[in-house]
Structure 1
Amino acid sequence: MKTLLLSLKDVEQALSMEEVISAVEQGYISYNEGKVQQPDIVSMEMPENNGETDIKSCYNKLNESISVKIASGFYDNGKNNELPTMIGTILLFDGRNGAPLCIMDGSLITGIRTGAAGAISSKLLARKDSKVVAVFGAGGQARMQIYALCQVMNIQEIRVYSEYTEELPKYKEYVERNTKVKVIICDTPEQAMKDADIAISTTPSKKYLVDKSLVKPGTHIVAVGADMAGKNEWDPEIFKGAKIVNDSIAQCISRGETRNAIISGIIKESDIYAEIGELLLGNKPLRESDDEITIFDTTGMGIQDNVTAAQVYEIAKKKGLGKYFEFI
């Protein structure tokens, strides 16, 4: 039995945003069709090292594969060493016999599948004439969200705010080079939210950045950063009366931005409109007026990793990428 080993460079050669968006859409649909087993996320925090680790696993009946991802965020990396902030590894197993098919770098997969999720939500829920995007955070995921969004919508201006101001010039250069969209660096959340049609948050903040007063009618919010209990980027009051869509309701009420609104007493679980897979299946209407505020709360799902990793594995085999070794 041979197992394929794929480096970050190998994975990069086997990925395209357009294909990942399609795969993640199918993954969400499979989840809502009951074809996915997805255990609870296992989380660990290492506060003395400003780090955290999540373990996400999944069995997908559609492609008969099992995936396990170990993803870490160590937020001092790059400052006191040469390591990236986000580090991940994905193990892919044959769901018919348990054999290890592939071990691959998961850092880029985590970034691209999360970017794809945000883009899918905007395609479904943002106003079709949306042009201006507010972005909170200027790291890798803030870049990936915009790169993905520009695959599905005609964006004309990015307004970015980050508490880590040293990130901003590189963010502006990267996004403008890769998307040809104008980027405006903002000094405050108020400046970033000015005229924003879509607002995306990608920070590890534990105290909300955006007050309800800054969110205009018709805004679509993509809440990415709050992926474990204690994180908070948005004023919970924003959820009152909004159309709330989760990737997984079970996850978002226990560890997402939706959790913050529930424990604040702003909403109840019954106020959640839908999971995104339900919208892709056409089971519920999408945006119903230009004035409603829509929120997509994503905590990241094992099925996203599964479908993306399976896609990478198949493409890598066709392209002859990576190296095989005898694991068993």
Structure 2
Amino acid sequence: MRTLLLTKEEVSRLICMKEVIDAVEEAYRAFNSSQVQNPGYIGIHLPEPRGEIDFKVGYYEVKEVISMKASSGGFANNPKLHGLPSGMGTILLFDARSCALTCVMDGSLITGLRTGASGAVSVKALARKSARTIASIGTGNQARMQIRAIKEVMNIAEIHAWSRTPDALLQYKADIEGELGIPVVISDSKKTAVEQADILITATRGKGELVQADWIRPGTHIVAIGTDQRGKQELDPEIFRNAKIVVDSAAQCTEKGETWHALNGGVIAYDDVHAEIGEILLGRKPGRESEEEITIFDSTGMAVQDNTTASRIYENALEKNVGTFFDFFER
């Protein structure tokens, strides 16, 4: 069996956001249909000023695909010192019937795409149908990816954005308005931005309570993306007290996600977690049940999302004859 190599540029040509959203929905349904082995991921924090690297492995039994992703982030000095991005990723795909390596592909785009798509899936399942206004706490790559994905599932009237860095905020406004044509209102405070939100996106590397409970309006849907490791935090745990809590993986979110802070602080108990999102997509548990309900989607990211997204890219590459084959194994 030959192995296919796909570069970042090739990956970017082989899938669109709508396909990624479909792949992420497939992943969530498969996870809650006992079709997935999704072991806990490994995160290694390196000494400052370096960042972290995560390793996520997943087996999708129906498709007989095993994926392994290495993903790094927070290496702020990489561009200057090494001529490299601050975050990188690589995905390996294996045929589970033989464990032969079928594909090596750049994973940096996939991580951003499937994380953005997860927010869009949660909006479809949990946001009010009348939602039009988004608040974005954070203006980095993932904050932008969330907007690109969510615009595929709802009409966004305007975005209220906040960042610690004024220059980053101005650049975000210029980029989003130029690329997507969505008006961006620069907020002078987090509170001002959050108070306008039908949908609140938190996508930072925060290590504290960036958003306070009394800022949240009834009916708000919160997409909590930034907290995927102990030590990270974006939300006041009190927000969880009267909210419907939906997670991607209960095991991960109660151990490493935003939900852990609410559990650790005694604000909620484990049984207060309403559902994993796959259960809602499968119709086993309800999504939003009233216009006034505050809903939280806590996403730590799952290997099966990488698996289904990378598999679609691999299939598209074979169909379109994209990439370079090489002989990795000798008989």
**TM-score, structure 2 as length reference:** 0.97
Equivalences for residues 265-304 of structure 1 within 5 A: 265-304=266-305
**SS state at 1:49 partner:** coil
Displacement of 1:164 in angstroms is: 2.8
Give the aligned partner of residue 196 of structure 1: 197
Equivalences for residues 1-150 of structure 1 within 5 A: 1-77=1-77, 80-81=80-81, 82-150=83-151
**5+ residue gaps, structure 1:** none
**SS state at 1:289 partner:** coil
Displacement of 1:79 in angstroms is: 6.1
- The one-character-per-residue Cα deviations of 1:16-64 (angstroms, maximum 9, x if unpaired) are 1101111110110010000000111100001323301110010001211
Displacement of 1:77 in angstroms is: 4.0
Give the aligned partner of residue 206 of structure 1: 207
CA distance in 2, matches of 1:136, 1:318: 40
Give the aligned partner of residue 163 of structure 2: 162
CA distance in 1, matches of 2:16, 2:145: 12
**5+ residue gaps, structure 2:** none
- Residue type of the alignment partner of 1:178: E
State whether residues 147 and 178 of structure 1, in contact with CA within 8 Å, keep that contact through their aligned partners in structure 2.
no
CA distance in 2, matches of 1:148, 1:75: 26
CA distance in 2, matches of 1:151, 1:208: 30
Displacement of 1:75 in angstroms is: 4.2
State whether residues 245 and 273 of structure 1, in contact with CA within 8 Å, keep that contact through their aligned partners in structure 2.
yes
State whether residues 137 and 160 of structure 1, in contact with CA within 8 Å, keep that contact through their aligned partners in structure 2.
yes
- The one-character-per-residue Cα deviations of 1:291-319 (angstroms, maximum 9, x if unpaired) are 11000000000000000000000101112
- Residue type of the alignment partner of 2:63: N
Displacement of 1:139 in angstroms is: 1.0
CA distance in 2, matches of 1:76, 1:101: 32
Root-mean-square deviation (CA), in Å? 1.2
Number of residue pairs the alignment of both structures matches = 328
Displacement of 1:181 in angstroms is: 0.9
- The one-character-per-residue Cα deviations of 1:212-265 (angstroms, maximum 9, x if unpaired) are 111111100000000001100000000002100000000000000000100011
- Residue type of the alignment partner of 2:31: Y
CA distance in 2, matches of 1:233, 1:83: 28
Task: Classify 1:79/1:159 alpha carbon distance in 2 versus 1 (closer, same or farther; 3 Å).
Answer: farther
**TM-score, structure 1 as length reference:** 0.97
CA distance in 2, matches of 1:203, 1:192: 15
**SS state at 2:200 partner:** strand
CA distance in 2, matches of 1:142, 1:96: 38
CA distance in 2, matches of 1:314, 1:226: 32
CA distance in 2, matches of 1:146, 1:3: 34
CA distance in 2, matches of 1:74, 1:258: 23
CA distance in 1, matches of 2:319, 2:166: 42
**SS state at 2:284 partner:** coil
